[in-house]
Amino acid sequence: MSRAVAEPTPAVASGPRQPLSPAKRKQRRTLLALAAIAYLITFLVILPILWIVLLSFQPSADILNDPLSLGHLGLANYVNAVQSLPLLRMYANTFLIAIAAVSLGTVVSFMAAFALTRMVFRHRRLQSAVKFYFLAGLAVPVYILLFPVYRLDLALGLFGTYGALILPYAAVSIPFNTLLMTGFLADFPAEIEEAAIIDGAGLWRLCISVVLPIMRPVIATILIFNIVYVFNEFPFASILINDPNMVTVSLAVSRFQGQFTVDYGGMMASATMVLIPQLVIYAFFQRQIIAGMTAGAVKG
Amino acid sequence: MNWISSRPKILLMLAPAFILFTLFMTYPVGYSLAFSLTKFQGFGTPRWTGLDNYARILTDQFFWQALVNTAIILVVSLAVLIPGSFALALLLQRKIAGSGALKALVFGPAIIAPILVGLIWVFILDPKIGLLNRALAGLGVPAVTWIGGNTLTPYSVAIVFIWSSIGFAMTIFYAGLQTLPSDVMEASALDGATGWQQVRHVTIPMLRATFAIVTILLITNVFKIFELVYVLTGGGPVHRSETLVSYMYYVTFTNQQYGYGMALAVIITVLGALVSAGYLMLSSRKGDRR
Amino acid sequence: MRSLILRRPLKQLLAAVALTTSTALALSACAAPSTPSGSAPASAGAKTEITLSMQNPDVKTADPATWAIVQAFEAANPDVTVTVSGEAVAEHLQKLSIAAQSDTLPDIFWVYKANAEEMLQAGKLLDLKPVLDELGITSELPTSTVENFTSDGKIYGVPYQELLTGLWVNKKILTDNGLQMPTTFDDLVNVAKTLHAKGITTISNGANQSAFSVWSFLVWLDRFGYEDKLSGLLDGSISYNNADFQRMYEHIAQLRDAGAFSSNVSTQTYQQAVSQFTNGKAAMLDAGVWASSAIQESKVAPNIGFWQGAQFSDGVGNQNIIMDVASAPLVVSAKSGADPTKLAAIKKFLAFYYGEKGQQILVDNGQPPVTNYQATVDETTQSVLKVALEAASAEGVSSPKSQPDLLVSTQVANAMYDSIYGVIQNQLEPKAALDLVQKALDENR
């Protein structure tokens, strides 16, 4: 946001009314048109989200029969959701698992991606083989993993601990992280790093103070996606969590779905409550992506 | 770079990811692969049946229907999402008032759990109570069976998938755009390149890796679509709108044919990997990157 | 310089990340020994914990009868704690399947009959016969129920709740349209035609994620000789695609062509179907006694009727039947049965559940008793439940031994649902629908 304040954007700028050159005027008109398109697309995209929020204030019966009626809006669903869900505990558990799993997954993937793009293997084929080994994980549907991972957690003594979810979540994120990191690293010329090595930088300093800053936008993107993944992951959470004290937010919505009963209002309200913290997290990391612009400029 | 590339150092950097991945991904896949060679109902004892499950796939009409549906969704969503999300990233990179907020909002759908995405859209697309048909009825258009009919469901699923993925793809393109060296962009602008020429001759070639990343992620994600279909139609009527994973889920967990379900899962994994690899081969043949 | 400043927060972030990772790993390591694995020290006077795992994520709201029984039991037995957990049916069964393979089954749990039999064969379930005989429960249960849950001379389950199904009828819609309560299939087709002309749905049901919601049509199978054909269907000597069933499926097609079903039957869920009915927008609801509470709370409650379903002049055998059987069983894991402390607590729980107090709690929460207990039903606050119970005990009406889908494997049961909805949704010709089930039967032999 500070950027936006620092340099007022032309679309809203109301500078001194000087006659503009025809080129400038055309540029300005184009920008206005583009802004209009951007607003329109954004509006279309968020319309369904606004709709969940609206539905979350309606009684379940209205949601099913007349979702457009606005006659009985109220907070009943939220009261109900707050009363029947251990929300604080859910958020605490989710944050703990997300922070641990995402850090672990990102750190190990970063190390691997560095090795796969920057280090010189004696056998080049081995290097690309390892990379494809990781990338193949992208094609694996989670349901193939459920049963064996449960057994693995039991065998490793992780079952009933947070580790039971942290390790598989971190492992599942490796293919995605590797794809993004190796892809972006490959796009960067290695000159600065070579310069740093000539300056006498060791492996760790090279990673942490040279490569990491360059990768900032990518890492921010990866963190966002991984956190969103942990927040929404359902199949593992529903199978690997046995202790009611360890439930995560991704299980919140399903709590309203019984064998013969579904509380649509409760689902919508809990969905809204899960959504908002995630949007806040996104807004936070998004600044890191923007900040990356300046970091990227350093090397220029 | 040779200086830092001693064998122990390479091992040290690769080992954590390799061990974690092998333990929690490769080993489970192997485990399920073994189950795919058995008849196992989930509760009793597995019985070795060799390749029977794989032979059964060949004559399973529901599987082939699911494959066709997945292919439709793949083609439609790639055709719209790749250009669409790239254009959106370019657009939001311009100095538009509040573009930061716009980015967060466009990303919104990507945050919503897929099961909820389905729930939102079922209230929009349902032929009888859905918003869309109600709106169309206001305009005098007769009701359209967007979901649950004989033909339109995969296209509707593609639209919902596009909606839920556009922010995801846009964010990756946006991050890619941020890593472009500003001097090159400025130089090409000084050369008098128009916006479109710059995009075509400078931006797109420099972002080739980003395009590959987005495409591969979208391909593998389409192959994993499940909750959308599960909520929108439950795969129905009578499995007509199943996707590969939704049908695998039905077989494995609803029908409790664990062995056959794992055989389907293995085939789905292989198909997803093959399509991605095929794309990679095609795109690398087009232009060898430096 | 600028890049340096920017870099600092990232470094801090990294340090924080490293710290949390190590903390989390340490935490998870510490948490390991405290996992609930039944290894709590059994010191004198300590509470015994038994786990009860059900098919609803939120048992308290979705299954108030079970919740109330557990509460009352704990109040009456301060030395036992019942830890209730639950998942939606699909996840619940996934969890059980994995737990059965890993020997981590809960103490008492809800499961499908077919799965219970597989687990019994694999030695995972406790034979309840000695326990039930000792507690005097066996003689309180209907004989058909006991037979239903007996395999190789072992009783592996007790009835969780009663499966009393039929069509809930909004009688006001019928009278408003000059219609009588139907008895025969022809009556029903006539009702459907009349209501369809006025844009009213006759039978409310929904196939989306609830393909199993075909209860009234499963009774039809029994009206076309299912019970007598069953062993032949299972051993392959009788085809599902036989002349009797062919007639039955053609009747489904006739009903469909008469406009009996909602136009969005493919995308509507069972829950939406209930809501359609309770809002007075459909004349009948294909469901069972579990829906009585929802109907009781709705505006259609005063006009409610409960219909056993259409009788057929071209049917096979007794047509005056109503589905009133035991639903899925509650079972006890063999491992828990081997632990004397646990077994004692489990016995107490079963004695309570199937005793008079437990059964009356079922009734108070809108469920019929599963034992021979003569329940007291409140005339006004439970008028809807009362209507159903009266239909079940009407003069001359009898019940099949079990519901057709409960007597076959899960795969065949699902094929039955698909075949019925396939005709309702006009996706399958009757013949193709029958072949679909036959294929599943063949694959399961």
User: Would you state the pLDDT for residue C98?
Assistant: 87
Cis amide linkage into residue B237, ω under 30° from 0: yes
- Measured between beta carbons, the chain A residues lying within 8 angstroms of C102 are 150-151, 154
Average pLDDT (A257-261) is: 81
Mutation for C interface: A87, A167, A259, A288, most C CBs within 10 A: A259
Average pLDDT (A234-246) is: 88
Q: Side-chain half-sphere of A196: how many Cα atoms within 13 Å?
A: 18
Lowest mean pLDDT among A128-137, A289-298, C429-438: A289-298
Domain end among A12, A32, A55: A55
Query: Angle at CA A116, nearest 5°, toward A111 and A121?
Result: 120
Work out the mean pLDDT of chain A and round it to a whole number: 83
Kindly state whether residues A128 and A225 are assigned to the same domain. yes
More confident call, C14 vs C352? C352
Q: B243 CA to chain A: closest CA distance, Å? A: 13
pLDDT in tens, A172-228: 999 999 999 998 887 777 777 788 888 877 888 888 888 888 788 888 889 989 999
From chain A residues 270-299, the ones with a CB under 8 A of any chain C CB are 291, 294-295, 298
Mutation for B interface: A5, A44, A45, most B CBs within 10 A: A45
Kindly state whether residues C67 and C212 are assigned to the same domain. no
Contact of B46 with chain C, judged by CB distance below 8 Å, is answered with no
Cα–Cα distance, C52 to C64 (Å, whole number): 14
User: Would you state the pLDDT for residue A210?
Assistant: 82
Kindly state whether residues A233 and A105 are assigned to the same domain. yes
Kindly state whether residues A100 and A207 are assigned to the same domain. yes
- Give the chain B residue whose CA is nearest to the CA of C421: B238
* Chain C: partners with 3+ C-beta pairs within 8 Å: A, B
Residue C383 lies in a domain: no
Q: Is the pLDDT of residue C35 over 50?
A: no
Domain end among C308, C343, C364: C364
A23 — pLDDT class (breaks 50, 70, 90): confident
Kindly state whether residues C186 and C301 are assigned to the same domain. yes
* Chain B: partners with 3+ C-beta pairs within 8 Å: A, C
Work out the mean pLDDT of chain C and round it to a whole number: 89
Kindly state whether residues A51 and A90 are assigned to the same domain. no
- Measured between beta carbons, the chain A residues lying within 8 angstroms of B16 are 107-108, 111-112
Kindly state whether residues C171 and C299 are assigned to the same domain. yes
User: Would you state the pLDDT for residue C388?
Assistant: 95
Residue C23 lies in a domain: no
Average pLDDT (C89-110) is: 90
Other beta carbons less than 10 A from residue A24's beta carbon? 12
- Give the chain C residue whose CA is nearest to the CA of A143: C94
User: Would you state the pLDDT for residue C37?
Assistant: 40
Give chain C's domain count: 2
Contact of C417 with chain B, judged by CB distance below 8 Å, is answered with no
Please, are residues C362 and C69 in contact by the beta-carbon 8 Å criterion?
A: yes
Residue A274 lies in a domain: no
B49-286: CATH architecture: Orthogonal Bundle (1.10)
From chain B residues 216-255, the ones with a CB under 8 A of any chain A CB are 216-217, 220, 223-224, 226, 245, 248-249, 252-253
Q: Is the pLDDT of residue A115 over 50?
A: yes
pLDDT in tens, A270-290: 888 888 888 888 777 777 665
User: Would you state the pLDDT for residue A289?
Assistant: 61
Residue A64 lies in a domain: no
Mutation for A interface: C30, C55, C91, most A CBs within 10 A: C91
- Answer yes or no: do C35 and A96 touch at CB < 8 A: no
Q: Which domain holds residue C173?
A: 164-322+394-443
Q: Which domain holds residue A38?
A: 2-55
State in Å, rounded, how far the first CA of chain C is from the last one. 76
- All residue ranges of chain B with pLDDT < 70 are 1-3, 192-193, 285-290
Q: How large a percentage of chain C has pLDDT more than 90?
A: 77
- Minimal Cβ distance to A160: which of C35, C61, C270: C35
**Strands of C264-389, DSSP E:** 282-288, 304-307, 323-326, 329-332
- Answer yes or no: do C118 and B41 touch at CB < 8 A: yes
Task: Specify the residue for token string 């490959």.
Answer: A186
- Give the chain B residue whose CA is nearest to the CA of C211: B234
- Residue by residue, what is the 3-state secondary structure of B97-157? CCHHHHHHHHHHHHHCCHHHHHHHHHHHHCCCCCHHHHHHHHCCCCCCCCCCCCCCHHHHH
- Minimal Cβ distance to C411: which of B233, B237, B257: B257
Residue A166 lies in a domain: yes
More confident call, A189 vs A249? A249
Lowest mean pLDDT among A243-247, B50-54, C17-21, C419-423: C17-21
pLDDT in tens, C268-279: 999 999 999 999
Average pLDDT (C257-278) is: 93
Closest CA to C322 of C229, C379, C378, C395: C395
C74 — pLDDT class (breaks 50, 70, 90): very high
- Answer yes or no: do A163 and C29 touch at CB < 8 A: yes
Average pLDDT (A9-22) is: 53
- Measured between beta carbons, the chain B residues lying within 8 angstroms of A290 are 100, 178
Please, are residues B218 and B81 in contact by the beta-carbon 8 Å criterion?
A: yes
pLDDT in tens, A142-166: 999 999 999 999 999 999 899 999 9
- Answer yes or no: do A244 and C85 touch at CB < 8 A: yes
Kindly state whether residues C245 and C214 are assigned to the same domain. yes
Kindly state whether residues A20 and A142 are assigned to the same domain. no
- Measured between beta carbons, the chain A residues lying within 8 angstroms of C2 are 294, 298
- Answer yes or no: do A144 and B265 touch at CB < 8 A: yes
Closest CA to B219 of C386, A139, A123, C162: A139
User: Would you state the pLDDT for residue C22?
Assistant: 47
Q: Which residues contact B125 (CB under 8 A, 6 or more apart)?
A: B132, B146, B147, B156, B160, B232, C267
CA B184 from chain center: how many Å? Answer: 33
- Give the chain B residue whose CA is nearest to the CA of C432: B238
CA distances from B216 to B74, B180, C416 (A): 11, 21, 39
Closest CA to A113 of A188, A57, A49, A21: A188
- Give the chain B residue whose CA is nearest to the CA of C210: B234
User: Would you state the pLDDT for residue C11?
Assistant: 47
Cα–Cα distance, C255 to C251 (Å, whole number): 6
- Answer yes or no: do B238 and C421 touch at CB < 8 A: yes
- Answer yes or no: do C291 and A260 touch at CB < 8 A: yes
Kindly state whether residues A14 and A90 are assigned to the same domain. no
* Chain A: partners with 3+ C-beta pairs within 8 Å: B, C
Helix (H) or strand (E) holding B48: strand B47-48
- Minimal Cβ distance to B148: which of C97, C210, C266: C266
Lowest mean pLDDT among C18-27, C39-48, C157-166: C18-27
Q: B171 CA to chain C: closest CA distance, Å? A: 20
Cα–Cα distance, C84 to C191 (Å, whole number): 45
User: Would you state the pLDDT for residue C45?
Assistant: 61
Kindly state whether residues C298 and C345 are assigned to the same domain. no
Contact of C121 with chain B, judged by CB distance below 8 Å, is answered with yes
Closest CA to A42 of B105, C314, C368: B105
Q: SS3 of C351, please?
A: helix
Q: What interface predicted TM-score (ipTM) does this complex get?
A: 0.89
More confident call, B19 vs A296? B19
Q: Which residues pair with C110 in a beta bridge?
A: C330
- Residue by residue, what is the 3-state secondary structure of C209-257? CCCCCCHHHHHHHHHECHHHHHHHHHHCCCCCCCHHHHHHHHHHHHHHH
Kindly state whether residues A95 and A157 are assigned to the same domain. yes
CATH of the domain at C260: 3.40.190.10
Kindly state whether residues A98 and A235 are assigned to the same domain. yes
C33 — pLDDT class (breaks 50, 70, 90): very low
Please, are residues A170 and A97 in contact by the beta-carbon 8 Å criterion?
A: no
pLDDT in tens, C364-418: 998 999 998 888 888 889 999 999 999 999 999 999 999 999 999 999 999 999 9
A73 — pLDDT class (breaks 50, 70, 90): confident
Give chain A's domain count: 2
Closest CA to C228 of C96, C316, C156, C147: C316
Kindly state whether residues C149 and C170 are assigned to the same domain. no
User: Would you state the pLDDT for residue C10?
Assistant: 43
Long-range CB contacts for residues C401-405, cutoff 8 Å, separation at least 24: C401/C144, C401/C147, C401/C148, C401/C227, C401/C325, C402/C144, C402/C148, C402/C325, C402/C326, C403/C163, C403/C165, C403/C215, C403/C218, C403/C323, C403/C325, C404/C218, C404/C221, C404/C222, C404/C226, C404/C230, C405/C212, C405/C218
The CA-based dihedral angle spanning residues B108, B114, B115, B116, taken in that order and rounded to the nearest 10 degrees: 10
Residue C405 lies in a domain: yes
- Minimal Cβ distance to B109: which of A45, A65, A115: A45
- Minimal Cβ distance to C264: which of B129, B234, B257: B129
